[in-house]
Structure 1
Amino acid sequence: MTRLVLSEAEETPLLDVLVEGFRAFNGPFVGEHGYKPLRLLVFREGEDAPAGGIQAHCYGAWLHVLMVYLPEDLRGQGLGTALFDRIEAEAQARGCIGAYLDTLSWQARPFYEKRGYELFGTLPDSPPGHARYFLKKRFGPA
Structure 2
Amino acid sequence: MLTITREAEPDEATQLAIEAGLEGFNTSKAGPENAEDFWIIARDADGKVQGGVKGWSSFSWLFIDWLWVSADGRKGGTGSRLLGEAEEVGRARGCVGVYLETFTFQAPEFYRKHGYVEFGRLEGMPPGHDCIWLKKALD
Shared fold (TM-score greater than 0.5)? yes
**Any idea what the Cα deviations from partners look like across 1:91-130, whole Å, max 9, x if unmatched?**
1110100000111011100110011000111100001111
Superposition map of 1:12-51 within 5 A = 13=12, 14-31=14-31, 33-47=33-47, 50-51=49-50
Structure 1 counterpart of 2:121: 122
The structure with the largest alpha-carbon Rg is 2
**Any idea what the Cα deviations from partners look like across 1:52-85, whole Å, max 9, x if unmatched?**
2111110111111111111111111111111111
Query: Structure 1 pair 38/16, CA: closer, same or farther in 2 (3 Å)?
Result: farther
Give the partner amino acid of 2:82.
Answer: L
Partner SS for 1:129:
coil
TM-score (norm 2): 0.85
Over the aligned positions, Cα root-mean-square deviation in angstroms equals 2.2
How far the C-alpha of 1:5 sits from its partner, in A, is: 2.9
Structure 2 counterpart of 1:91: 90
Residue identity over aligned pairs, in percent, reads 29
Query: Structure 1 pair 60/118, CA: closer, same or farther in 2 (3 Å)?
Result: same
Query: Structure 1 pair 71/28, CA: closer, same or farther in 2 (3 Å)?
Result: same
Runs of 5+ consecutive residues of structure 2 not aligned to the other structure: none
Runs of 5+ consecutive residues of structure 1 not aligned to the other structure: none
Structure 2 counterpart of 1:133: 132
TM-score (norm 1): 0.83
